[in-house]
Amino acid sequence: MNKLIITCAISGAETSKKDNEYVPYTIQETVEEAYLAYLAGASIIHLHVRHDDGTPTQSKLRYQAVINGIKKKCPDVIIQPSTGGAVGMSRMTRLKPTELDIEMATLDCGTLNFGGDQIFINTENDIKYFANTLHERNIFPELECFEKGHIDMVLRLHKKGFIHKPMHFSFVLGVNGGMTGEERDFYFMKDSIPSDSTFSVAGIGKYEFPLAELSIKNGGHVRVGLEDNIYLEKGVLAKGNKELVEKVVSIAKRYGREIATPNEAREILGIRRK
Ligand code: KMH
Ligand code: ZN
């Protein structure tokens, strides 16, 4: 089987130090979490940044400072800034990190409820605008799909020329408002994408490791991290992102999947560096 690409979503915009003290806020904390996740086996760092008090921001300067710090410690790692940001941010705010010299970013492919009164809005026009911007800037999109309708949107926008091959999907399953991470939902998503695309799975909360294992068994890739799940196992908080990555590496070993280096990940996904 192909090698396994592990993405680590080190901080996100929703979890906080109140949930798990290892959620990084400062530049130094964020760089350190990324570095430790990389040493543990992550080849992609999915990146959100925060102000020192934990407030999420899409500030270009803040992203640049964190990216510089990460690149100093692990120059080859793939850094994938979020264009999702936090619920309620505008299109232009969310796109700020794409003004930097980056090779990959997320592209969220549909709207969904995000718990309580929160709605994560990605209209068809938003998705077209984001897709065009990433394409013009030669930034490889990871297609975030929270449910099957989002895959259908990607396929429609591919036919219309907004989204291009090679296509790499991320199934983000288990969000309160999206699809669950049950096994049948995983297979529904996996069987709905074109056979020449690649996919990774991000299971939220309790779905993180069961979905990681399913994806590993089925030739897919895996995302873990404190953005998605704060527990190493039921009732045991993870002592940082590295423990979550290490757990995926140990599952991969059981199935004989080797771990991809960042350059091998670029090769598998078809990312062309500028
Ligand atoms: N924080 C969520 C509202 C992404 O990074 O592209 C959106 C999110 C998706 O995390
Ligand atoms: Zn994110």
Owning domain of residue 161: 6-269
pLDDT at 273 over 80: no
Q: Label residues 10-48 b or e (16+ Cβ within 10 Å = b).
A: bbbbbbbeeebebbbbebebbbbbbbbbbebbbbbbbbb
pLDDT digits (tens, 9 = 90+) for 168-207: 999 999 999 999 999 999 999 999 999 999 999 999 999 9
Q: Report yes or no: 141 and 131 within 8 Å, Cβ to Cβ.
A: yes
Using a CB cutoff of 5 Å, list residues around ligand 2, an ion: 82
pLDDT band (50, 70, 90) for residue 272? confident
Give the residues surrounding ligand 1 with Cβ less than 6 Å away. 12-14, 82-84, 86-87, 106, 108, 120, 144
Q: Judge contact between 191 and 203, C-beta under 8 A.
A: no
Q: Which helix H or strand E contains 203, and what residues bound it? A: strand 198-203
Residue 200 inside a domain? The answer is yes
Distance (angstroms) between ligand 1 centre and the Cα of 83 equals 7
Residue 66 is assigned to a structural domain of this protein: yes
Q: Which ligand is nearest to the CA of 142?
A: 1
- Contacts of residue 71, defined as CB under 8 A and 6 or more positions apart, other chains included, come to 77, 79
User: Domain total for the chain?
Assistant: 1
Q: Kindly report, residue by residue over 81-93, the tens digit of the pLDDT.
A: 999 999 999 999 9
Domain harbouring 99, CATH code: 3.20.20.70
pLDDT over threshold 90, residue 1? no
Structure tokens at 128: 């077209």
Coil vs helix vs strand at 104 = strand
Residue 274 belongs to some domain of the structure: no
Q: Answer yes or no: is 194 within a domain.
A: yes
How far is 71 from 181, CA to CA, in rounded Å? Answer: 33
- Whole-model pTM: value is 0.98
Do the domain assignments include residue 15? yes
Would residue 1 count as lying in a domain?
A: no
Nearest to 171 by CA among 237, 242, 220, 122: 220
